[in-house]
Amino acid sequence: MTADSSIAAPGTDYAATASEAYRAALKVIESVEPRIAEATRQELADQRDSLKLIASENYASPAVLLTMGTWFSDKYAEGTVGHRFYAACQNVDTVEALAAEHARELFGAPYAYAQPHSGIDANLVAFWAILATRVEAPGLAELGAKHVNDLSEADWEALRAKLGNQRLLGMSLDTGGHLTHGFRPNISGKMFHQRSYGTDAQTGLIDYDAVRAAAKEFKPLILVAGYSAYPRRVNFAKMREIADEVGATLMVDMAHFAGLVAGKVFTGDEDPVPHAHVTTTTTHKSLRGPRGGLVLATEEYAPAVDKGCPMVLGGPLSHVMAAKAVALAEARQPAFREYAQAVADNAQSLAEGFTSRGARLVTGGTDNHLVLLDVTSFGLTGRQAESALLDAGVVTNRNAIPADPNGAWYTSGIRFGTPALTTRGFGAAEFDKVAELVVEVLSNTQAEGTSKAKYATADGVAARVHAASSEMLAANPLYPGLTLS
């Protein structure tokens, strides 16, 4: 499968049409600020010549990208479909309604909200919608009138008190959770009293009995499931059972694996949408759309979610909602299911490529789209490994591992994801080769002294790996046939 086969419009010269569109667009941009046009050209060149293995990145289709560059960007459209605070929003209504329709049909959700600008915004909408639905908290207006940056810790204490000191239980950061799941540096950690559940110390897997015990002891209003660096599937039916037992709302953040849900790789108990009260996601990552967010919800929570603007959001980005509609329409095509299955299969191949070469993986493998490599066996920190790989043209990101001795900045892990290179057409053989190249770099890299950042890679290794990766990339071109000159 090539990237073009899953995004091209049948019966048209898709690449030639896209090339013409981009050349014209860059010519217009160049007439105003040529440095931006040049940076845009260079970004495409750089992405074409790098092994993009960041699990949260992908490549959107030309149709999705071009949809964002329209006059929908010029519209203010606060409110909801048919109920706007600005005039002349009938076309925005069409766009938002289509995006929501495609999301409902794709995920089998009763309700969909397409306005969130990002995954963090989607989570904030969800949190406040749950609070608004379940908690009576009079007297919030005076606090809500303050800008969030002006709220003191005393203000936050007062706010939490007015909300009934509500509690949130989510996955810990070092075992794969996300900053927006109740951690103090994020606003979610200021809204709630938060506690974390982790994974089994031996297997690295979620221990549902331990989650149940923590929920019964802590009694959260919200139980958050979902992850950004957990390389396994989650049984959402069990998570719903736990939530019901303690009277909690189950909120699932599927930002990372939404493409596997949309592509029916995750079904039954592993599909969060039938089990969660509220489900949030980004529309990029494995879903392969524009940067943005979605909220899916049951009918009970729909009225509060629908007030995301102005409750949490500013005016919706109509041009991005239009791009969401196009991407979601693409994801409803049979080719997207083939793509999603290939993402999961390729992650297996990558994991097997690592383990066959003696590398150590968190949980010992994967059954989703990502692989988490423990680089301590190479004598490196995550930061050193990330930098050494980047020198060789391999783009990754460092990531904490359970009980990480190096903390969240330097880390002890590297997170790999297969969505982007799968879009380019990489298969099992290529991902095995990727594992070989990664191990070659890390095996020939050493820490310098006691520094957690400085490193030295043996002469010639980076150049050799970059050349090998370029050969694979040339055989699987990004946006095949698209030319800017």
Instruction: Determine the pLDDT at residue 153.
Output: 72
Angle at 148 between CA 162 and CA 139, to 5 degrees: 25
Token digits for 465?
């790996």
Structure tokens at 134: 């379940």
CA distance 246 to 415: 34
Please enumerate in sequence order all residues whose Cβ is within 8 A of that of 362, keeping only pairs 6 or more positions apart, or say none: 204, 231, 372, 373, 374, 401, 402, 413
Question: 456 — phi, psi (to 5°)?
Answer: -140, 130
Residue-level pLDDT at 94: 97
Q: What is the pLDDT of residue 29?
A: 93
Exposure string (b/e) for 376-389, b if CB count within 10 Å is 16 or more? bebebbbbbbbbbb
Domain 71-135+166-331 part of CATH 3.40.640.10? yes
Average pLDDT across each block of 10 residues of the chain; the chain has 485 residues. List them in order.
44 79 93 95 94 95 95 92 91 96 97 95 91 67 49 69 77 80 71 87 93 95 93 96 96 96 97 97 96 96 90 90 97 96 97 97 96 96 97 95 92 96 96 98 96 96 96 94 89
Please tell me the CATH code under which domain 335-475 is placed: 3.90.1150.10
Chain-centroid distance of CA 8 in Å reads 24
Pairing of strands 394-395, 51-52: parallel
Query: Residue 114: what pLDDT?
Result: 97
Sequence-distant (6+) residues with CB within 8 A of 114 are 96, 99, 100, 103, 294, 316, 321, 324, 325
Q: How far apart are CA 314 and CA 308, in angstroms?
A: 9
DSSP at 333: S
- Compute how many other C-beta atoms are within 10 angstroms of the C-beta atom of residue 451: 12
pLDDT at 136: 61
On the question of a cis peptide bond just before residue 231, with omega within 30 degrees of 0, the verdict is no
The gap from C-alpha 332 to its chain's centroid, in whole angstroms, comes to 19
Residue with tokens 């506690």: 195
**What are the CA-CA distances from residue 419 to residues 203, 286, 444 (Å)?**
25, 6, 27
Write the DSSP symbol of residue 120. Answer: H
Q: How many angstroms separate the CA atoms of 177 and 54, rounded?
A: 17
The domain limits of the chain are: 71-135+166-331, 335-475
Pairing type for strands 79-80 and 397-399 reads unpaired
Q: What angle, 0 to 180 degrees and rounded to 10, lies between the N-to-C axes of helices 334-355 and 428-443?
A: 40
> If you compute the radius of gyration of the chain from its CA atoms, what whole number of angstroms results?
23
pLDDT of residue 23: 93
